[in-house]
Chains A and B, each alone.
Chain A
Amino acid sequence: TQLLEQSPQFLSIQEGENLTVYCNSSSVFSSLQWYRQEPGEGPVLLVTVVTGGEVKKLKRLTFQFGDARKDSSLHITAAQPGDTGLYLCAGAGGSARQLTFGSGTQLTVLP
């Protein structure tokens, strides 16, 4: 069974602070996706990383895929209240035939 562990589970920070969310597994994935979900809505894809060591930047968000393709991180610079939401990582490929989701990180950015 493939498992993805996310940390921290909850994060509450002030506007303007930086934060990092981690997604770790003992399994290798062919790609890893990050989603953000707002209350009452489905997850929305933020980025997909496919190459070990890959770094992708989307404005204030930086995503990194580990060299061994077993872990990933999401770094947010100068967080804003609009960044509030549930962040989910999901691994694709490997031995499982479906997307494996992490448990999620609930981020609250206070104004």
Chain B
Amino acid sequence: KAGVTQTPRYLIKTRGQQVTLSCSPISGHRSVSWYQQTPGQGLQFLFEYFSETQRNKGNFPGRFSGRQFSNSRSEMNVSTLELGDSALYLCASSYRDSSRETQYFGPGTRLLVL
């Protein structure tokens, strides 16, 4: 069974631009969670989607948004990029409830904002 895939793997943007990252979960998994990882803050939860509905949201500004499609694939969007948005963005999938089940992580998208 294929693992979680994320595209693109690397991305360079400039301040003020917007970016869309994509995540394909493990086949059969319906929950997709997004995390931001930085050296200073560690892994921080962004949001979780289950069956196309945002089920949980972390403490990030409204510039960070996401959605999930009927095939469970998910995208996250960051608008008006800031230098501080440079990070590794990780997607994780689980079968049902991400707060109680094992999450499987993708390799991440490394975003650099110049």
A44 at the interface (CB under 8 A from B): yes
Contact A45 B56 (CB under 8 A): no
Contact A97 B55 (CB under 8 A): yes
Work out how many contacts link A and B, with CB atoms closer than 8 A. 57
A56 smallest CB distance to B (angstroms): 14
Expressed in whole angstroms, the Cα–Cα distance for A100 and B58 within the complex equals: 11
Contact B108 A42 (CB under 8 A): yes
Point out the residues of chain B lying under 8 angstroms from A92, CB to CB: 99-101
Expressed in whole angstroms, the Cα–Cα distance for A100 and B35 within the complex equals: 11
Q: Report which residue of A33, A43, A93, A103 has the largest number of chain B beta carbons within 10 angstroms of its beta carbon.
A: A43
Residue-wise interface mask of A (84-111) relative to B, using a CB-CB cutoff of 8 A (1 in contact, 0 not): 0000100011001111111110000000
Question: Contact check: which of A41, A48, A99 meets B99 at CB < 8 Å?
Answer: A99
B86 smallest CB distance to A (angstroms): 15
Point out the residues of chain B lying under 8 angstroms from A42, CB to CB: 4, 90, 92, 105-108
Do most interface residues of chain B lie in helix, strand or loop, or is the interface mixed?
A: strand
B112 smallest CB distance to A (angstroms): 13
Expressed in whole angstroms, the Cα–Cα distance for A100 and B48 within the complex equals: 13
B53 at the interface (CB under 8 A from A): no
B98 at the interface (CB under 8 A from A): yes
> Which residue on A lies nearest to B55, using beta carbons?
A97
B32 smallest CB distance to A (angstroms): 12
Contact A98 B33 (CB under 8 A): yes
